Structure 1
Amino acid sequence: MNLQTEIVADILSRIPIKSIFHCKCVCKTWHDLLSEPYFVNLHLPRSPAGLIIHRSNYPQETDILKLVELDGESDHHNIHHNPLTRFDLGLGFNYDALLLCETVNGLICLWNYYGVAGYICNPITREYILIPDQKYDSPYAIVTCGFGYVEASDEYKVVRLYMHMKTGKSECKIYTLGTGVWRSLGHLPFPLISFQNGIYLNGNLHWLTTDPEGTPNEMVCTFDLEKELFLLTPAAPFVVGRDVKDRIRYLGTLGECLCICDSTADFELSIWVMKDYEMKEMWSKEIVIREPSLQYQNVRPLIFLESGCILMVCLDRFLFTYCPEYGTVQIIEDAPKKAFDARVYVPSFIRLGSFVLENVFVF
Structure 2
Amino acid sequence: MDSLYHKLMSSTRGGPSMEDLLESVMFDILSRLPVKTIIHCRCVCKKWRNLVSDSYFIDLHLSRSPAGLMFHHNSEKYRPSGYYEPGILKWVLIEDEPNRHHLRHDPVMNLDLNLAATFQNSQMRLVGSVNGLLCLWQFGRFHDNTYICNPITREYMTLPRQQYYRKGYAIIVYGFGVGLRTKEYKVIRTFQGDIPPNPSSTSRPSFLEAEVYTLGTSLWRSLGRVPYWLEGWDGPFLNGRAHWIVCDKDSPEKICTFDFDDEKFELLPSPPFEVTNDEHQMHYQSLGVLKGCLCASDIYGSHFTIWVMKEYGVKKSWRREVVIKEIIGPIPQSEIWDYTTVLECLKDGTVLMLTGEDSLMAYCTLRKTVEDTGLFDRHVTGMTYRPSFLKLQDFPSERVDVF
State the TM-score, normalizing by the size of structure 2. Answer: 0.80
Residue pair 1:101, 1:109 contacting (<8 A) in 2 also: yes
Q: 1:12 to 1:216 in 2, by over 3 A?
A: closer
Q: Residue in 2 aligned with 1:47?
A: 65
2:322 to 282, 287, 290: 287
Q: Answer yes or no: is 1:79 the counterpart of 2:103.
A: yes
Q: Residue in 2 aligned with 1:145?
A: 174
Q: 1:42 to 1:77 in 2, by over 3 A?
A: closer
Q: 1:125-144 deviations in whole A, cap 9, x for unaligned?
A: 10001113342356x32211
Bigger Cα displacement from structure 2, 158-167 vs 285-294: 285-294
Bigger Cα displacement from structure 2, 315-324 vs 101-110: 315-324
Instruction: Supply the AA of the counterpart residue of 1:163.
Output: Q
Q: 1:232-254 deviations in whole A, cap 9, x for unaligned?
A: 13533343565266222222222
- Residue correspondence of structure 1 range 59-138 to structure 2 within 5 A: 59=78, 60-72=84-96, 78-90=102-114, 92=119, 94=121, 97-114=123-140, 116-134=144-162, 135-136=165-166
Instruction: Supply the AA of the counterpart residue of 2:365.
Output: P
Structure 1 unpaired stretches of 5+: none
Q: 1:277 to 1:29 in 2, by over 3 A?
A: closer
1:6 to 20, 24, 30: 24
Bigger Cα displacement from structure 2, 307-316 vs 219-228: 307-316
Q: 1:350 to 1:241 in 2, by over 3 A?
A: closer
Q: 1:24-76 deviations in whole A, cap 9, x for unaligned?
A: 22222112221222221221101111221211344342320112222226999
Q: Answer yes or no: is 1:222 the counterpart of 2:257.
A: yes
Instruction: Supply the AA of the counterpart residue of 1:312.
Output: M
Q: CA deviation at 1:258?
A: 1.9
Residue pair 1:210, 1:218 contacting (<8 A) in 2 also: no
Instruction: Supply the AA of the counterpart residue of 1:63.
Output: G
Q: 1:278-317 deviations in whole A, cap 9, x for unaligned?
A: 4344533321223415555222222222333222222552
Residue pair 1:102, 1:110 contacting (<8 A) in 2 also: yes
Residue pair 2:51, 2:57 contacting (<8 A) in 1 also: yes
Bigger Cα displacement from structure 2, 283-292 vs 155-164: 283-292
- Residue correspondence of structure 1 range 160-199 to structure 2 within 5 A: 160-165=189-194, 166=198, 168-192=206-230, 194-199=231-236
Q: CA deviation at 1:268?
A: 2.3
Residue pair 2:100, 2:348 contacting (<8 A) in 1 also: no
Instruction: Supply the AA of the counterpart residue of 1:251.
Output: L
**Identity of matched residues, %:** 41
State the TM-score, normalizing by the size of structure 1. Answer: 0.89
Q: Answer yes or no: is 1:22 the counterpart of 2:40.
A: yes
Structure 2 unpaired stretches of 5+: 1-6, 8-19, 79-83, 199-204, 328-332
For residues 238 and 3 of structure 1, what CA distance do their matches in structure 2 show?
55
Residue pair 1:208, 1:218 contacting (<8 A) in 2 also: no
Q: 1:69 to 1:234 in 2, by over 3 A?
A: closer
User: Which of these two proteins has the greater Rg computed from alpha carbons?
Assistant: 2
Q: CA deviation at 1:119?
A: 1.0
For residues 342 and 155 of structure 2, what CA distance do their matches in structure 1 show?
28
For residues 300 and 277 of structure 1, what CA distance do their matches in structure 2 show?
20
Name the one with the larger strand percent.
1
Q: Residue in 1 aligned with 2:391?
A: 351
- The Cα RMSD (Å) is 2.6
